[in-house]
Amino acid sequence: MPESVFGVVGLFDSADALMAAIPEVRARGFRNLHAYTPYPVHGMDEALDLPKSKLGVLVFLIGSIACVAAFTFEWWTSTRAYPLMTGGKPYNGWPGWVLVMVESTILFSTLTTGIGMLFAFNKLPYFGNPMLGSEAIASVTRDRFALMAASDRGALDVAGATEALRAVGAAALEVVYEPDHARPGVGWWVRTATTIVAASAVAGFGTWWAIRAYPTIKPMVNMEVQPRLDAQRPDAFFANGRGMQRPPDGTVPRASVPILDTVPDDAGKSLMNPLPVTAAVLARGRAQFNLHCAVCHDRLGTGHPWLDSTYQAFPVDLQTGPIRAAADGYLYWVISQGIRTMPGYAADISPDDRWAVVRYIRALQRSQDAPARDLK
Amino acid sequence: MTEATLPAALRVEPLVQGDVTLAGLDDHIRGWTERKPPRAWYVAITITSLTALMGFAAIGYMLYEGIGIIGNSVPVVWGFLIINFVFWVGIGHAGTLISVILYLFRQRWRNAISRIAEATTVFAFVCAMMFPAIHVGRPWFPYWLVPYPNQRGMWVDFRSPLIWDVFAVLTYFTVSLLFWYLGLVPDFATLRATAKSRTRRAVYRLLSWGWVGNARQWVHYEKGYLLLAGMTTVLALSVHSIVSMDFAVSQLPGWHMTIFPPYFVVGAAFSGFAGVVLVFAFVRTVMQLENYVTMRHMDLLNRMVLFLACVMTYAYLMEGFTAWYSADPFVKYIFANYVFGDQWWAGTLTIFLNCVLPQLLWFPKFRRSVPVMVTVSAGVTVGMWMERYTIVILSLHRGYLPSSWGMYLPTRYDFMILFGSIGLFLTLLLLFLRKLPVIAAWEVKPDIVFYQKQSAEAGHA
């Protein structure tokens, strides 16, 4: 098997001996020297003429980018994407962003340092390193110091290198060969494929199980499930099994006056507006009218014709003759009970407010048909 | 004049002692990863893992039943969980301070203890990060803490100290883990070559990425280590400052103080060093590391504890002074409440354990006595926990509005979660001591070489 030589390696007992040997081996014309030590030996970089590490430049670059990116991101979210007023401070209150910028800078700088050092500058992982297959590797990661005269573009005077290393006192001389990079065999492919399939199966079944199992767990349900009676729900608390109980017979809601008339015309004859015509009553009526009535009848009571096509509702124009002629009791009955598509507002507007609304409707009618003396 | 010719009193005690060699150190470290551990280890890990399980059971019950099972309630809405978070973040500061700041100051004695100290950092942060996640009202949404594009179109508020905290803690954990792992790479390479079993060799081979100790690799490695040390220093000083701002930026009497950031950093370092002393007091004898972690190391660590105790005392005094000088009746009342209030024992215990007890360490004899250092360090660990209890609970329960004053009483679940986190920390530590190299061999080896040279010189003299 033709093997190419990676280098000749010799071991020393101390870092000092190794350092002393470097210039001598170099003097014999071996330029491509590598030192392997169990710990960083200071002065080794000068002895071997190693260039200074450029790691700092990369880290500074990435760190600066991270700093600017963090600032930009904070600026964008705080002033553009989601401006949120807190404590009356300005949206672009940059002093509050500084700490996140610092942390982001450090995070990305340190990740660059670690990953860059291992994977970019030291070109790891390198499991095919010929040194890993050598006899010397066990010693150089332990308590010995190795010097290697490495082959320079495949050319190395093996005998000369061995002789040079022996002359400077290196022990356990060894020729390290480039490993034979054979293609992976069938067995390797089978193993790899089996591993991938098995891992996918485990992940798939795990996910399937998790999705099935997870929704059945309801954490912290005490907001959702409370010991209380719900309207329209069964409940074992009462004998009749209902959550909602009927009030005792003869109960009337507070401030409620039952309307006994069954048609509005009867109400127009039997009911009288109890409220006086004062500015306070009209203001009260206007508030309720604008709140509940104006949405269909418009603020002047003329009605929104466009509701016809949209909702098939025909809000009556309160300014027309029949309505002007109708009694207060009639209007009160309609507001309370509703008519045609209009719902009753008894639940939403109190009886006094309804009467106030009637007064306000009268005021609206007069405002749209004012005699000349009103304008004086 | 060489060291050997100096009078004994002037001689610096060596960092290693006894019959130590480079190979001997490697074999010692590897021995613990391969040997069946002593019976005490099994007993210990059974106890700690059961304690951790108890804690997880309590957390599980809390997640199922709701946050009401623990003692938090208005006005004390931050209870044990936040105390524990601050406490564990504090414990986690020793690793960085020892590994990083002492490295920048070229204190070689840190070499032998850095690995275990870094491990305590990583494990303390595992414990610490658990607490904010389970403390949020709806613990199934902890990812809302992180700014990510979402359908709600909402972003986090970058002016809130709570979001600074998320960034600081996550960054600190990532960086500590990275730092710890990078330190391990050359040691994994050593184990790769000497480990007995094939599986183990394969695992170490993967973990060391094919590291061979080439001088070209070491150039980048040392550069990277220095860069990491420099940047992590900034981080170590900023993380607990940011944690303190969770308190200091609020308006509560007793929290709203400018002294908080430095005061928290010192407190963190203090509890961290005490934690490391506590770990080493046991580990160095049980794992027979006396030759590498000598009494001189323990002495120096105890000096750090003493120094920080003095700074801590100063911080307490300054806090009291600020309260008095503010002339604000609420702030003055809060500080009186710490030591004379309903829970007077919290403030008093804090001062006794953190300020008074460590004064024992002024005596060289006590700095080298294991029972004394264990007592003091355990005292400081408890004392620093009590300090956080004082800050969190005793400030919250007496706010600006006397009508909202209340009382806090922890429930049994609070204690189960607290002890569970200690169990989790110790379990992780025991697993680490069992399986990974406990000493940064590549850092200690130059010290051994130096010691050997010195001994040889002394022999010739």
Q: Mean pLDDT over all residues of chain B?
A: 89
From the list A34, A44, A141, the residue facing B193 with the nearest CB is A141
- CB-based contacts of A204: which residues, under 8 Å, 6+ apart? none
- What pLDDT was estimated at residue B19? 80
Q: Is the pLDDT of residue B317 over 90?
A: yes
**Touching A: B residues 426-455, CB under 8 Å:** 441-443, 445-446, 449
What distances in angstroms separate CA A315 from CA A25, A94, A311, A321, A328, one per listed residue? 108, 56, 11, 15, 18
Element (H, E) at B103: helix B102-104
Neighboring chain B residues of A122 at a CB cutoff of 8 Å:
211, 216-217, 220-221
Residues B135-173: pLDDT tens digits? 887 788 888 888 999 888 899 988 888 899 999 999 999
Contact B155 A77 (CB under 8 A): yes
Neighboring chain A residues of B189 at a CB cutoff of 8 Å:
141
- The pLDDT profile of chain A, 376 residues, written as one tens digit per residue, is 456 888 888 888 888 888 888 888 888 888 888 899 999 988 888 888 888 888 999 999 999 999 999 999 999 999 999 988 887 888 888 888 999 999 999 999 999 999 999 888 888 888 878 888 888 888 888 888 988 888 877 677 778 888 888 888 888 788 888 776 656 778 888 999 999 999 999 999 999 998 887 776 677 777 778 888 888 888 888 888 888 888 888 887 777 777 777 888 787 788 888 888 899 999 999 999 999 988 888 888 888 767 776 777 788 888 888 888 888 888 998 998 888 888 889 888 888 899 999 999 999 888 888 888 877 7
Average pLDDT, integer, range B272-290: 90
SS3 readout for A162-230: HHHHHHCCCEEEEEEECCCCCCCCHHHHHHHHHHHHHHHHHHHHHHHHHHHHHHHCCCCCCCCCCCCCC
Contact A114 B181 (CB under 8 A): yes
- CB-based contacts of B332: which residues, under 8 Å, 6+ apart? B323, B324, B326
Q: Which residue has the tokens 């909602």?
A: A244
Q: Which two tokens stand for residue B362?
A: 């002024």
Report the alpha-carbon angle B52-B54-B60, nearest 5: 105
Domain boundaries, chain B: 25-445
What is the C-alpha separation between A315 and A338, in angstroms, rounded? Answer: 12
By three-state DSSP, how is residue A157 classified?
coil
Its sign, for the CA torsion A120, A124, A125, A126, is positive
- Name the DSSP class of B36: P
From the list B26, B215, B242, the residue facing A35 with the nearest CB is B215
- What pLDDT was estimated at residue A1? 40
| Domains of chain A, first to last | 5-177 (no CATH), 264-369 (1.10.760.10)
Neighboring chain B residues of A41 at a CB cutoff of 8 Å:
215, 218
Residues A36-78: pLDDT tens digits? 999 998 888 888 888 888 899 999 999 999 999 999 999 999 9
User: Per CATH, the architecture of B25-445 is what?
Assistant: Up-down Bundle (1.20)
From the list A74, A104, A114, the residue facing B224 with the nearest CB is A114
**How distant is the alpha carbon of residue B97 from its chain centre?**
9
Most distant CA pair in chain B, distance: 80
Q: Is the pLDDT of residue B312 over 90?
A: yes
Element (H, E) at A98: helix A98-115
Neighboring chain B residues of A99 at a CB cutoff of 8 Å:
164, 167-168, 238, 242
In terms of phi and psi (left: phi > 0; alpha: psi -120 to 50; beta: otherwise), the region of B108 is: alpha
Helices A15-27, A158-167: crossing angle, 10 deg rounding: 130
Contact A36 B223 (CB under 8 A): no
Q: What is the DSSP string of B39-53?
A: HHHHHHHHHHHHHHH
Contact A36 B157 (CB under 8 A): no
Using alpha carbons, select from A29, A53, A27 the residue that is nearest to residue A40.
Answer: A53
What is the C-alpha separation between A292 and B284, in angstroms, rounded? Answer: 82
Neighboring chain B residues of A143 at a CB cutoff of 8 Å:
21-23, 26, 445
Contact B232 A38 (CB under 8 A): no
